[in-house]
């Protein structure tokens, strides 16, 4: 179902026009469409969308900065690149793109270093397999591919060992191919997907039959990039062709697929090096070759003009290069794209995610010590959350509990591990699924746990943000567009969350006109007024005031206990933005915006009113004077 397009809204009185309004005036969106990172690629392919970037003016002075939080690029398992994510952020009017690559993929922790093509061969607790993909073209009987115990590479020290043998013979002049793809899901968690920088692949190849019209090849599917160099946007690939008739190595481009022709001898094993960064840089010098992920590994036997291709692949290994600094590369990439004209601030964080998933925003992106783990299946459990939070805080960052699948009783027992934030706006179901996350957050607030509720997309594709079901943004009321200012706003709860395409206004509130959203007020109860500062309600929508008692019920009653105490439409806000507040007992209040169907499409942070100092204290950023 298409959603209503948001209408334009004026900025709050006394505040400058800023990019807090850049989501206004967008066209109605198409039906929600999910896209996972595990779609196989047989070669470079067309993009999901072709939206051109806009160039909205940057805010001057204080304003709400629109942030895409929890983004993945070329060090994670999807097809997104830093370049494509920055372009999507610019296209949709964001100020900030905050990258949080999976830490263990960035470090290639528990990644398989060798593969001997043995069925069921285990490494790090998982097995790789070979998935037969649909044949290309018309093939003669006897064409196919499988693991074989002979012939095998004499250089492979493994016991046992095998090889992948592919035979392909076309039935006509046109090319035909047998294709098999590495399948490493399950226990292996596709533990080859990461940035191509900092490592090379080596492979032993035997061309038993080949020639000008028959060869073997390896296709490496890479990352999505915007249009550049006269090429359209799309997913790039590298195709290594092993040719017996060639004497010299050569490179060329076929659209978004770089082709590397590698001479190999006929009838004997040859070790070949696949240096994706060097080869990609030579073929597409305008691209930063480091901004690519190894997304898929595909083996093929290719034939044309009825020439038989018979190729064996064996002893695949991944060699790490000394001196590779993954975080340094990410900082280089955002600096490069900024120098090339990107008006989106790229920031580098981390998703600590081998066990429970927590984002590390700000500070030094130092590696978390997982201890002596030899198998991906032995990853830490939810009891590691406090340890991860302590690590993030020790390195000067804010800790965010991601897409919380942790039970509320666990979070209550841990006091949320001491985290600063929790993802509330999250999920491919969009506003239909957010009530359960709001309930979890409210339950934490009921227990005097002061967490900023953020919105995130967890996008891995760098394509079509407005077509994703999960498209929440976080807007920070910050004194400036710099990481320390943004962190201060997030840590203090000076932010709101909206759903891209459904809410394009602004959301803020204050107590007695002086105590800002996100604050904790400690002291005896007295008469209070809540000022609502809300613009851009969806047509037929409303803003609701949600109240909850702070009774610290704990695990005995792990429910939110909240009530909607006031619902106001646009006309109501025009008459008055000040509401008397119920101050009986310890409580918290927050705002949420609903559309005409009643779905929550935006929400703000709570203000807590407490009679006495809580035992755990109040974070300095949140304490109201």
Tell me, yes or no, whether 441 and 579 share the same domain. yes
Tell me, yes or no, whether 178 and 274 share the same domain. yes
| Residue whose C-alpha is closest to residue 593's, from 537, 554, 555, 539 | 537
Tell me, yes or no, whether 244 and 330 share the same domain. no
- For the four alpha carbons of 213, 218, 223 and 229, in that order, the dihedral sign comes to negative
Confidence of residue 341 (pLDDT cuts 50, 70, 90): confident
> Distance between CA atoms of 622 and 364, rounded to whole angstroms?
23
Residue 51 in any domain: the answer is no
Structure confidence at residue 6 (pLDDT): 29
Q: What is the average pLDDT across 469-493?
A: 96
Tell me, yes or no, whether 336 and 477 share the same domain. yes
Which tokens go with 121? 């061969």
Structure confidence at residue 146 (pLDDT): 97
Residue written as token pair 């070949």: 272
> Distance between CA atoms of 140 and 301, rounded to whole angstroms?
13
> Distance between CA atoms of 222 and 229, rounded to whole angstroms?
18
Those residues whose C-beta lies under 8 Å from the C-beta of residue 563, and which sit 6 or more positions away, are 546, 547, 548
- Is it the case that residue 31 has pLDDT exceeding 70? no
Residue 553 in any domain: the answer is yes
Tell me, yes or no, whether 418 and 492 share the same domain. yes
Structure confidence at residue 42 (pLDDT): 38
What's this model's pTM, rounded to 2 decimal places?
0.90
Structure confidence at residue 435 (pLDDT): 95
Those residues whose C-beta lies under 8 Å from the C-beta of residue 57, and which sit 6 or more positions away, are 17, 19
Structure confidence at residue 222 (pLDDT): 98
Backbone angles phi, psi at 227, to 5 degrees: -60, 140
Residue 366 in any domain: the answer is yes
Helix/strand number for the chain, H first, E second? 9, 34
Averaged confidence pLDDT in the chain:
90
C-alpha atoms less than 13 angstroms from C-alpha of 510 in its C-beta half-sphere: 8
Q: Domain of 305: which CATH number? A: 2.60.120
- The domain boundary residue, chosen from 295, 320, 345: 320
Summarised one tens digit per residue, pLDDT across range 247-285 is 999 999 999 999 999 999 999 999 999 999 999 999 999
Q: Is the peptide bond before 160 cis (omega within 30 degrees of 0)?
A: yes
- Is it the case that residue 58 has pLDDT exceeding 50? no
Structure confidence at residue 404 (pLDDT): 87
- The domain boundary residue, chosen from 303, 320, 337: 320
Those residues whose C-beta lies under 8 Å from the C-beta of residue 76, and which sit 6 or more positions away, are 37, 101, 102, 105, 106, 193, 194, 293, 460
Q: How many structural domains are present in the chain? A: 2
Which tokens go with 94? 């964001």
Crossing angle of helices 326-339 and 82-91, rounded to 10°: 40
Tell me, yes or no, whether 158 and 218 share the same domain. yes
Confidence of residue 49 (pLDDT cuts 50, 70, 90): very low
Residue 571 in any domain: the answer is yes
Q: What is the average pLDDT across 227-236?
A: 97
Summarised one tens digit per residue, pLDDT across range 484-493 is 999 999 999 9
Residue pair 395/369 in contact (Cβ under 8 Å)? The answer is: no
Bridge partners of 129, per DSSP, are 183
- Is it the case that residue 53 has pLDDT exceeding 90? no
Residue pair 217/138 in contact (Cβ under 8 Å)? The answer is: no
Q: Is the peptide bond before 151 cis (omega within 30 degrees of 0)?
A: yes
Summarised one tens digit per residue, pLDDT across range 174-203 is 999 999 999 999 999 999 999 999 999 999
Distance of CA 550 to the CA centre of its chain: 34
Residue 93 in any domain: the answer is yes
**More confident call, 616 vs 413:** 413
Tell me, yes or no, whether 316 and 330 share the same domain. no
Structure confidence at residue 63 (pLDDT): 73
Structure confidence at residue 342 (pLDDT): 85
> Distance between CA atoms of 23 and 92, rounded to whole angstroms?
7
Residue written as token pair 């970037």: 53
- Is it the case that residue 458 has pLDDT exceeding 50? yes
Tell me, yes or no, whether 591 and 444 share the same domain. yes
Tell me, yes or no, whether 94 and 128 share the same domain. no
Q: What is the average pLDDT across 546-566?
A: 97
> Distance between CA atoms of 399 and 443, rounded to whole angstroms?
19
Bridge partners of 115, per DSSP, are 316
- The domain boundary residue, chosen from 261, 295, 320: 320
C-alpha atoms less than 13 angstroms from C-alpha of 89 in its C-beta half-sphere: 37
Summarised one tens digit per residue, pLDDT across range 588-625 is 999 999 999 999 999 999 999 999 999 989 999 999 97
Strands 607-610 and 421-425: unpaired
Question: SS3 letters for 256-294?
Answer: CEEEEEEECCECCEEEEEECHHHHHHHHCCCCCCCCCEC
| Residue whose C-alpha is closest to residue 217's, from 180, 254, 269, 252 | 180
Residue 38 in any domain: the answer is no
Confidence of residue 286 (pLDDT cuts 50, 70, 90): very high
Helix (H, G, I), strand (E, B) or coil at 389: helix
Tell me, yes or no, whether 125 and 76 share the same domain. no
For 109-208, where are the alpha helices, taking DSSP H only?
none
| Residue whose C-alpha is closest to residue 297's, from 203, 214, 233 | 203
Structure confidence at residue 17 (pLDDT): 32
Strands 250-254 and 257-263: antiparallel
Residue 423, H or E segment: strand 421-425
**More confident call, 16 vs 256:** 256
Residue 85, H or E segment: helix 82-91
> Distance between CA atoms of 560 and 571, rounded to whole angstroms?
30
> Distance between CA atoms of 270 and 301, rounded to whole angstroms?
16
Residue 207 in any domain: the answer is yes
Residue 444, H or E segment: helix 434-446
Structure confidence at residue 333 (pLDDT): 98
Residue 50 in any domain: the answer is no
> Distance between CA atoms of 417 and 383, rounded to whole angstroms?
9
Structure confidence at residue 525 (pLDDT): 87
CB atoms within 10 A of CB 211: 16
- Is it the case that residue 352 has pLDDT exceeding 80? yes
Summarised one tens digit per residue, pLDDT across range 361-395 is 999 999 999 999 999 989 899 999 999 999 999 99
Structure confidence at residue 612 (pLDDT): 95
Bridge partners of 563, per DSSP, are 547
Residue pair 210/242 in contact (Cβ under 8 Å)? The answer is: yes
> 435: alpha, beta or left, given left = phi > 0 and alpha = psi -120 to 50?
alpha
CB atoms within 10 A of CB 598: 11
Residue pair 7/539 in contact (Cβ under 8 Å)? The answer is: yes
Tell me, yes or no, whether 128 and 89 share the same domain. no
> Distance between CA atoms of 221 and 214, rounded to whole angstroms?
22
Range of the domain at 98: 19-31+62-107+326-610
| Angstrom distances, CA of residue 259 to CA of 136, 242, 247, 250 | 18, 11, 16, 8
Q: Domain of 602: which CATH number? A: 3.20.20.140
Tell me, yes or no, whether 184 and 314 share the same domain. yes
> Distance between CA atoms of 357 and 120, rounded to whole angstroms?
29
Residue pair 187/376 in contact (Cβ under 8 Å)? The answer is: yes
| Residue whose C-alpha is closest to residue 62's, from 9, 23, 18, 11 | 18
Summarised one tens digit per residue, pLDDT across range 428-449 is 999 998 999 999 999 999 999 9
Strands 398-401 and 421-425: parallel
Bridge partners of 588, per DSSP, are 548, 608
């Amino acid at each position: 179902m298409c959603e209503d397009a948001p209408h334009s809204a004026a900025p709050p009185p006394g505040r400058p026009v800023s990019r807090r309004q850049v989501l206004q005036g967008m066209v109605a969106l198409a039906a929600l469409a999910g896209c996972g990172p595990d779609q196989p690629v047989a070669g470079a392919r067309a993009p999901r969308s072709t939206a051109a970037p806009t160039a909205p003016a940057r805010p001057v002075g204080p304003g709400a900065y629109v942030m895409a939080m929890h983004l993945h690029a070329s060090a994670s398992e999807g097809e997104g690149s830093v370049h494509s994510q920055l372009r999507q952020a610019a296209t949709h009017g964001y100020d900030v793109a905050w990258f949080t690559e999976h830490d263990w993929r960035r470090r290639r922790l528990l990644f398989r270093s060798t593969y001997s093509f043995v069925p069921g061969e285990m490494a790090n607790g998982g097995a790789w397999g070979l998935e037969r993909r649909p044949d290309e073209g018309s093939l003669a009987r006897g064409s196919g591919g499988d693991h074989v115990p002979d012939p095998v590479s004499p250089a492979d020290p493994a016991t046992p060992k095998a090889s992948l043998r592919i035979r392909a013979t076309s039935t006509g002049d046109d090319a035909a191919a047998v294709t098999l793809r590495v399948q490493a899901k399950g226990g292996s968690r596709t533990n080859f997907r990461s940035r191509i920088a900092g490592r090379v692949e080596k492979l032993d190849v035997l061309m038993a039959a080949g020639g000008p019209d028959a060869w073997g090849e390896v296709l490496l599917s890479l990352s999505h990039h915007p249009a550049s160099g006269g090429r359209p946007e799309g997913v790039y690939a590298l195709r290594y062709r092993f040719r017996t008739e060639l004497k010299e190595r050569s490179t060329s481009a076929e659209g978004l697929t770089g082709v590397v022709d590698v001479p190999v001898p006929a009838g004997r094993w040859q070790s070949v090096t696949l240096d994706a960064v060097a080869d990609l840089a030579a073929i597409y010098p305008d691209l930063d070759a480091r901004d690519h992920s190894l997304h898929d590994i595909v083996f093929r036997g290719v034939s044309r003009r009825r020439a038989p291709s018979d190729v064996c692949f064996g002893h695949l290994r991944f060699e790490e290069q000394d001196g590779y600094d993954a975080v340094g590369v990410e900082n280089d990439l955002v600096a490069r794209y900024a120098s090339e004209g990107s008006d989106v601030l790229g920031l580098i964080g981390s998703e600590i995610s081998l066990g429970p998933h927590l984002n590390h925003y700000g500070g030094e992106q130092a590696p978390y010590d997982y201890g002596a783990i030899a198998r991906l299946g032995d990853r830490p459990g939810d009891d590691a959350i406090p340890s991860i939070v302590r690590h993030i805080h020790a390195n000067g960052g804010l800790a965010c509990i991601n897409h919380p699948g942790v039970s509320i009783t666990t979070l209550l027992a841990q006091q949320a591990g001491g985290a600063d934030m929790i993802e509330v706006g999250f999920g491919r179901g969009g506003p239909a699924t957010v009530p359960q996350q709001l309930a979890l957050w409210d339950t934490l607030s009921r227990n005097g746990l002061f967490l900023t509720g953020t919105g995130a997309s967890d996008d891995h594709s760098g394509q079509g943000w407005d077509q994703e079901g999960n498209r929440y943004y976080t807007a920070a009321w910050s004194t400036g567009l710099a990481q320390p200012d943004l962190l201060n706003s997030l840590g203090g709860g000076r932010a709101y969350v909206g759903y891209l395409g459904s809410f394009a206004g602004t959301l803020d509130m204050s107590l007695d006109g002086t105590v800002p959203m996100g604050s904790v007020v400690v002291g005896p109860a007295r008469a209070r007024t809540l000022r609502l500062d809300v613009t851009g309600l969806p047509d037929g929508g409303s803003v609701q005031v949600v109240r909850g008692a702070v009774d610290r019920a704990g695990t005995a009653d792990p429910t939110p206990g909240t009530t909607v105490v006031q619902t106001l439409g646009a006309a109501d806000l025009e008459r008055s933005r000040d509401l008397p507040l119920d101050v009986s007992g310890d409580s918290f209040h927050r705002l949420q915006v609903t559309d005409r169907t009643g779905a929550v499409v935006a929400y703000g942070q709570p203000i807590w009113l407490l009679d006495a100092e809580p035992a755990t204290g109040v974070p300095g950023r949140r304490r109201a004077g």
